[in-house]
Amino acid sequence: MPASLRSTLYFSGTNALSMALRLIGDPIGKFYSSPDMVTFAKRTNKVSVQKSITGVLVSSNHQVCSEVLKSPNWLSRPFAERLYTGPTTYTPETIHPFLDSIIAIDGAEQRRIKKLMQPVFTPRVIDSWKETSLRIVNDLFSNVKEHGEFDFVASIANPLPLAVICEVIGVPKLYWEKCNIWGRTLAGIGLDLPKNNKELEELEATSLALTDLIGELLAIRRVKPEDDLISLLASAQTDGQKLSDKEIIASVAFTLIAGFETTMNLLSVGTLALLENPDQLALLARNQELIPNFIEEALRLSSPIQFVVRTADSPLVLADGTKAKAGQTVILNLAGANRDPAVFDKPDSFLIQRENAKKNVSFGFGAHHCIGSLLARVEAEVMWRELLRRFPDVESWKLTGTPKYRSGKLIKSLESLPMSFRVSQPSAF
Ligand code: HEM
């Protein structure tokens, strides 16, 4: 069957199924119809795990999400494989930024690749990224001063993590804007899945462009290594084994996307939360030692990755008594778990002194725990410290328009955040 006909049938089949599930009030129908995962959690949180008639389990419960993520028996690969080989023209020769990267590989293979990537993400190395982050933040803020009124996403929250991750990976500046555009497509269509043939074509062309670029950079770094992730992976070995080009290219491509689309959300939603809660902003400005805890609370509230999916490798029983068959899938609603009232008192309130804010599940747990969690925290700390230093008159921090969200389900991020600070003008006398 021609690929375009196969994908057309696929899309009409999934659209019809999601419509039917919505009509009968099935949890998966609610998943499709809820505007975001926090609303979805409120519609489905009566029991810790709900079961769809499709067999899929869903949970917004903190204990269940943590338990499944920590368990080696719940795998990432099977669902990713179903997802990306369903409608796409994926072949064994293709390099797929999700399917071929560590996020969709389990067990010993995943541990081998992650171990080789780890030297770029140790606390000591990440500490050296403080200086880089500060240099980039200063560059970006120098433009903000001139304007006074500006879009926080376009001016800071998007370019900062993009620049940092490109420098960590070793992507020359010439390609940063392209990576920004590709990241948007891959995080949007790629993670939420294409809804029609046009989106599918766009996704496949973008994946190819990104993996081609990383492939070219890999060839260059093999001849002339630099101090970056691509060069490290090009020469890295563990137990005498090297990574294949496919493993390097896919994992670097995935890291690029994972590194800025998520952090951008933390920075923008965290800043919006401060603007909407002036008492918390004033408290933070007076007590800057609260910044690390404020970052944890911003992570809890924003949940940059809203949900993840796992599949049981064998018949399993969860601590709450839920039974799963081998091959059964569970959607873990991280955004919901971060608002679980059994763990977080007043879960919808933004409280920078919340004692257990660190219990957020935003970076996941277990084998796939985010490799860039320290880097994201460093960028966030550097940015907010600098923001408070440059604009200490926090009463002047104001929203100047309505913040707009992007439509993504898996990554719910802000498209724009119009705001202003009062910048002290030099005296005329
Ligand atoms: C606020 C920022 C971030 C958030 C909320 C976040 C969240 C996550 C989550 C939830 C996972 C686990 C997904 C799963 O279990 O299926 C993950 C994995 C990952 N993240 Fe992040 N991330 C952030 C920043 C970063 C940064 C800056 C990098 C770049 C270095 C990065 C690279 C990765 C990679 C490579 C993985 C896959 C790890 C594996 O499969 O073992 N992330 N991230």
Q: Are 164 and 379 in contact (CB under 8 A)?
A: yes
pLDDT tens column, 397-427: 999 999 999 877 888 789 999 999 876 554 4
Percent of the chain with pLDDT over 70: 91
- Please give, one letter per residue, the 3-state secondary structure of the chain: CCHHHHHHHHHHHHHHHHHHHHHCCCHHHHHHHCCCHHHHHHHHCCCCCEECCCCCEEECCHHHHHHHHHCCCEECHHHHHHHHHCCCCCCCCCCCCCCCCHHHCCHHHHHHHHHHHHHHHCHHHHHHHHHHHHHHHHHHHHHHHHHCEEEHHHHHHCHHHHHHHHHHHCCCHHHHHHHHHHHHHHHHHHHHCCCCHHHHHHHHHHHHHHHHHHHHHHHHHHHCCCCCHHHHHHHCEECCEECCHHHHHHHHHHHHHHHHHHHHHHHHHHHHHHHHCHHHHHHHHHCHHHHHHHHHHHHHHHCCCCEEEEEECCCEECCCCCEECCCCEEEEEHHHHCCCCCCCCCCCCCCCCCCCHHHCCCCCCHHHCCCCHHHHHHHHHHHHHHHHHHCCCHHHCEECCCCEECCCCCCCCEEECEEECCCCCCCCC
Q: Is 413 in the pocket of ligand 1 (CB under 6 A)?
A: no
Domains of the chain by start residue, with CATH: 3-420 (1.10.630.10)
Residue 55 and residue 52: Cα distance in Å, rounded?
Answer: 5
Tell me which residue has its CA closest to atom 6 in ligand 1: 363
Strand-strand pairing, 329-333 and 57-59: parallel
User: 363 CA to middle of ligand 1, Å?
Assistant: 6
Ligand 1 within 6 A of CB of 371: yes
Mean pLDDT of the chain: 89
Which atom of ligand 1 lies nearest, measured to the CA of 375? 27
The CA 48 to ligand 1 mean position distance, Å, reads: 25
Residues 382, 130 contacting (CB under 8 angstroms): yes
Binding site membership of 98 for ligand 1 (Cβ less than 6 Å): no
Quote the distance between the C-alpha of residue 282 and its chain's center.
29
- How far is ligand 1, taken at its centre, from the CA of residue 384, in Å? 21
Nearest-atom number in ligand 1 for the CA of 254 is 35
Is there a contact between 260 and 147 (Cβ–Cβ < 8 Å)? no
Whether residue 362 has its Cβ less than 6 Å from ligand 1: yes
What pLDDT sits at residue 189? Answer: 78
pLDDT of residue 429: 42
User: pLDDT digit string (tens) for 85-107?
Assistant: 766 666 777 898 888 999 999 99
For residue 246, report the distance from its CA to the centre of ligand 1, in Å: 20
Span from the CA of 336 to the centroid of ligand 1 (angstroms) = 18
Instruction: Check if 337 has its Cβ closer than 6 Å to any atom of ligand 1.
Output: no
pLDDT of 8 higher than 70: no
> Which atom of ligand 1 is the closest one to the Cα of 308?
16
Pocket flag, ligand 1, residue 117 (CB < 6 Å): no
Expressed in angstroms and rounded, the spacing between residue 272 Cα and the centre of ligand 1 is 22
**pLDDT top residue among 152 and 196:** 152
- Cα(262) to ligand 1 centroid in Å equals 8
pLDDT at position 3: 55
Q: Is the pTM of this model over 0.85?
A: yes
| Residue 418: strand pairing partners | 151
Q: How confident is the model at residue 146 (pLDDT cuts 50, 70, 90)?
A: low
Q: What digits encode the pLDDT tens for the residues 250-279?
A: 999 999 999 998 999 999 999 999 999 999
At 69 the pLDDT is: 98
Minimum CA distance residue for ligand 1 atom 37: 103
What spacing in Å lies between the alpha carbon of 260 and ligand 1's midpoint?
A: 10
Alpha carbon of 372 to ligand 1 centroid (Å): 6
- Could you tell me which residues come within 8 angstroms of residue 227 by beta carbon, excluding any fewer than 6 positions away? none
**Strand 149-151 relative to strand 418-420, pairing:** antiparallel
Atom of ligand 1 nearest to the CA of 365: 15
Q: Give the Å distance between the CA of 259 and the centre of ligand 1.
A: 7
Does residue 380 line the site of ligand 1, with CB under 6 A? no
**Ligand 1 centroid from CA 118, angstroms:** 13
Among 305, 370, 411, which is best to mutate for testing ligand 1, by the most ligand atoms less than 8 A from CB? 370
* Residue 74 CB partners (closer than 8 Å, separation 6+): 68, 310, 311, 312, 313, 316, 330
Q: Is the pLDDT of residue 127 over 90?
A: no
pLDDT one-digit tens code per residue, 233-250: 888 766 677 788 999 999
Q: What is the pLDDT confidence band of residue 428, given thresholds at 50, 70 and 90?
A: very low
Q: Locate 106 and state its tokens.
A: 């389990």
Does ligand 1 come within 6 angstroms of the Cβ of 309?
no
Q: Is 183 in the pocket of ligand 1 (CB under 6 A)?
A: no
Most confident of 41-55, 166-180, 181-195: 166-180
Question: Is any ligand 1 atom within 6 A of the Cβ of residue 169?
Answer: no
Residue at token pair 């030692």: 289
